[in-house]
Amino acid sequence: MKNRFNPESFYLPEFFIFELKKMASHLYLLPSLMGDTAAEDVLPEKNIALIKTLKHFIVEDLRSARRFLKTVDKSIEIDELTFYLLNEHTTPEEASRLIKPLLKGNDVGLMSDAGCPGVADPGADVVALAHEKNITVVPLVGPSSILMSVMAAGMNGQNFSFVGYLPVKPHEKQNRLKELERRIMQENQSQVFIEAPYRNMKLAEDLLRMCSPDLRLCIAVDISTPQEFIKTKRITEWKSKLPDMHKKPAIFVLGK
């Protein structure tokens, strides 16, 4: 018997089509460059090929995002893309609106200002919303200054903690460092932290003054760039000379 099924006449309720589109969309977590380097030297070809297919991007900084995309491929037409801003000033209500393109069936790329989105980055809020709406989240391989510094530090990579920023006030910073030092000594847990680039030198000086001289400190600056500097020394050994890290992206790893 001849098959009389005609795909063009097959009817699906509008709400069902919308649900299919929603399920088909993907939120791609796109690692970006962490300095002045070529995309092809750092990012997998899969990332570059995927980026060129996307038309919607959630970004932390519009200017950095546009520059990154042009670095990926100069032929990308920036004016044909739609950008949605997500940073520390974005309210929960504004963040909830950012996933509307995903709910309409569009694939969206989530991009941090540098490195991996969702890690020490406001993108985590959008990722959480995507999971709530059953949107597929796809993390892509790329540079992560946190993991790369742990890899290169020569300290315990099976038990480490990323603690973000330390307090700015001296007495609060000292108390926090004493707490981290206890974790290092009792649990052999490496402690990873960052600072605003213009306060890097001050933080490093505080570490030399406040921490036990026998602890080891890894200073990783400009990771994945031609100017990369990564060195681990005892606190007492750093006191002779610190690297220039003023206004440069840096990661600090403290351990034993």
Task: Please give the sequence-ordered ranges of beta strands (E in DSSP) within the chain, or none if there are none.
Answer: 26-30, 56-59, 82-85, 108-111, 136-139, 160-165, 190-194, 216-221, 229-234, 250-255
Q: Find tokens 């300095």 and name the residue.
A: 35
Cα 133 to Cα 19, 30, 70, 220: the distances in Å are 11, 20, 31, 38
**CATH code of the domain made up of 7-139:** 3.40.1010.10
CATH 3.40.1010.10 boundaries in the chain: 7-139
pLDDT tens-digit map of 186-196: 999 999 999 99
Are 180 and 160 in contact by the 8 Å Cβ rule? The answer is no
Does 147 score more than 70 pLDDT?
yes
Start and end residues for every CATH 3.30.950.10 domain found in the chain: 145-255
> Which of 173, 169, 124, 161 minimizes the C-alpha distance to 255?
161
Per-residue pLDDT reduced to its tens digit, 49-88: 999 999 999 999 999 999 999 999 999 999 999 999 998 8
Q: Is the pTM of this model over 0.85?
A: no
The number of CA neighbours under 13 Å toward the Cβ of 4 is 1
Q: Which fold has domain 145-255?
A: 3.30.950
